[in-house]
Chains A and B, each alone.
Chain A
Amino acid sequence: EAAVTQSPRNKVAVTGGKVTLSCNQTNNHNNMYWYRQDTGHGLRLIHYSYGAGSTEKGDIPDGYKASRPSQENFSLILELATPSQTSVYFCASGDARTGDTEVFFGKGTRLTVV
């Protein structure tokens, strides 16, 4: 069974603080993704990665950085958190080189910025 683990599951951060969301996958997938989920918007892609050392901007990258130090790990970094970044964040992995492969999701991180 494919496994994507996110930590922490819940986080409260202060405005202007730094937040790091972590993701680990044991699927040996090349691609990893960070999405955020907001009511009325569905899931929107923030950053993604093709493999260790690579990060690419998704559709809404502003205010976020990403880091992929290894095949298994992909982090999302908020250098200066703002209340507008309050959301549920999902990490996912996939081997979607051909477009026909499903993507596996973690259980999400609920981030509240106060």
Chain B
Amino acid sequence: AQSVTQPDARVTVSEGASLQLRCKYSYFGTPYLFWYVQYPRQGLQLLLKYYPGDPVVQGVNGFEAEFSKSNSSFHLRKASVHWSDWAVYFCAVPAYQGGRALIFGTGTTVSVSP
């Protein structure tokens, strides 16, 4: 069955440092993949999405993600973190069943230290 694993529940990074958030997926074939961000007391917003093609996808606010079929991964990166990036980040993959609901990982909370 399809699934998404985000192994890091919480990551703390210094402002200006680089960030990588890990996502592993299980899916038959090559999926579409998504990263969403949830700011405090807000709903989820799309950060970027992957369509089969170029493995590196650019998103908003300097985020990018790289798809690897061999590793079943879709890791998120940012070169220089800003305090406003303090949020929870979710990786998601479409479900097989009709309606194409998204299946989400458990999320990674990013805390930014000064």
A binds B: yes
Q: Report which A residues bind B (CB closer than 8 A).
A: 4, 31, 33, 35, 40-43, 45, 48-50, 56, 58, 90, 92, 94, 96-103, 105-108
The residue from A45, A56, A94, A107 contacting B43, defined by CB atoms under 8 A apart: A107
Q: Report which B residues bind A (CB closer than 8 A).
A: 6, 9, 31-32, 34, 36, 41-46, 49, 51, 90, 94-95, 98-107
Quote the shortest CB–CB distance from B37 to chain A (angstroms).
11
Q: Known contacts A43-B104, A102-B46; can you find 7 more A-B pairs with CB under 8 A? A: A4-B43, A43-B90, A45-B103, A99-B94, A99-B100, A103-B101, A108-B41
The answer to whether A31 and B46 touch across the interface, beta carbons within 8 angstroms, is no
Q: List 26 A-B contacts (CB under 8 A).
A: A31-B100, A33-B101, A41-B106, A42-B90, A42-B106, A43-B44, A45-B95, A45-B103, A48-B99, A50-B98, A90-B44, A96-B94, A98-B100, A99-B31, A99-B32, A99-B94, A99-B100, A100-B49, A100-B94, A101-B100, A102-B49, A103-B102, A105-B36, A106-B43, A107-B42, A107-B43
Tell me what chain B mostly uses at the interface: helix, strand, loop, or mixed.
Answer: loop
CA distance A92 to B100 in the complex (A): 12
Quote the shortest CB–CB distance from A22 to chain B (angstroms).
15
